[in-house]
Amino acid sequence: NIDTELLRALPKAELHLHLEGTLEPELMFALAERNEITLPYDSVEALRDAYEFGNLQDFLNLYYQGAAVLQSEEDFYDLTLAYLARCAEDGVVHVEPFFDPQTHTARAITMACQFRGILRALEEGHKRWGITSRLILSFLRHLSEEDAVVTLQQALPWREHFVAVGLDSSEKGNPPEKFQRVFDQVRALGLKAVAHAGEEGPADYIAQALDLLKVVRIDHGVRCTEDEQLVKRLIDQQIPLTVCPLSNVRLKVFSQMSDHNIMQLLKRGMCVTINSDDPAYFGGYLLDNFLAVRDAIGMSKAEAVQLARNSLTASFMDSETLTQHL
Ligand code: HPA
Ligand code: ZN
């Protein structure tokens, strides 16, 4: 097995990370106080104790409730900068974070406030730690396609400040098909498309995301193994999967880490990557996810190097930066 310090030192990119999911209980309480909001918990410990999830929806309920403390540009800045500080400790050299604008515009927090806070922190993170970034705007799939269309319109003034659009939230019953028209608009704007698929939803949602939304990466995708033809296609076309091991165990996609299929997929030649998804809720940042997989399943030095390399090649960084890291 690869040594922890070697893993930390490998240059890695994080491609599946929700900024709202990096809101640590301590910061949640601090922002609640700053914004004069009362949380339905007595303490940081009581809040952490509530992080026991039976499925994706259980988690999403707490995640949306927590995000309500984010109100000002400064709040989005503090959230994002705290995440980047953790990245620096873990040897993360490049990040492609998601944010969910609809979670905030629904509370009358403007798109401008969100973009300004996040972008300023990404610049500061680059200055302080040399971390490069590409931002991804993500639609909430439990809302209507019309709502996504309005959200895309609201984001147009920041067109040059994000590179892709994603699709997250409650997967089952909200197939990629529901968002086909708005993703046509996304791609017509020259933006890349990605989507969560095959986390709780069936393998068919992965095929739909590829065929109907024309995504260039699949977020999660671990249920691909239920369709052998699809597995072959993902390998042939080298479609990256942004896998989130601790998330999958905490949301009961796999009952324990030793059951996780990521290393089997890697051994079959799929372009899989390791990511943290919502680290404040799932018990670990990027390096913790690598260590959890290593300790439960095993990870050789060559496999770790391949996983780190996949994260760089599957990223949207420019080719010059990529060459520097490889
Ligand atoms: N799945 C779907 N929606 C999400 C997730 C996830 O893992 N994290 C934050 N929003
Ligand atoms: Zn996710």
Weakly modelled stretches of the chain, pLDDT under 70: none
- For the annotated binding site for Zn(2+), the residues are 16, 18, 196, 277
What ipTM did this prediction achieve?
A: 0.96
- What is the residue with the minimal CA distance to atom 3 of ligand 1? 169
pLDDT for res 306 = 98
C-alpha 54 chain-centroid distance = 20
- What is the residue with the minimal CA distance to atom 2 of ligand 1? 169
Ramachandran assignment for 24, one of left (phi > 0), alpha (psi -120 to 50 degrees), beta (any other): beta
Q: Compute the CA torsion angle 222, 228, 232, 233 (nearest 10 deg).
A: -70
User: What's the gap in Å between 59 CA and the centre of ligand 1?
Assistant: 8
pLDDT for res 193 = 99
Residue positions annotated with a catalytic role = 199
Query: Which H or E element spans position 213?
Result: none
Query: Which H or E element spans position 163?
Result: none
C-alpha 126 chain-centroid distance = 19
User: Across-strand partners of 243?
Assistant: 274
pLDDT for res 210 = 98
DSSP letters of 51-104?
---SSHHHHHHHHHHHHTT--SHHHHHHHHHHHHHHHHHHTEEEE--EE-HHHH
User: What's the gap in Å between 168 CA and the centre of ligand 1?
Assistant: 5
- Per-residue pLDDT tens digits for 46-70: 999 999 999 999 999 999 999 999 9
pLDDT for res 19 = 99
Pocket of ligand 1 (CB under 6 A): 18, 21, 56, 63, 168-169, 196, 199, 247, 277-278
CATH 3.40.50.300 fits 4-23+70-316, yes or no: no
Distances from the Cα of 221 to the Cα of 47, 100, 149, 198, 266, angstroms:
30, 20, 25, 4, 13
Choose one of 19, 98, 168 to mutate for the ligand 1 pocket test, by most ligand atoms within 8 angstroms of C-beta. 168
- Per-residue pLDDT tens digits for 172-224: 999 999 999 999 999 999 999 999 999 999 999 999 999 999 999 999 999 99
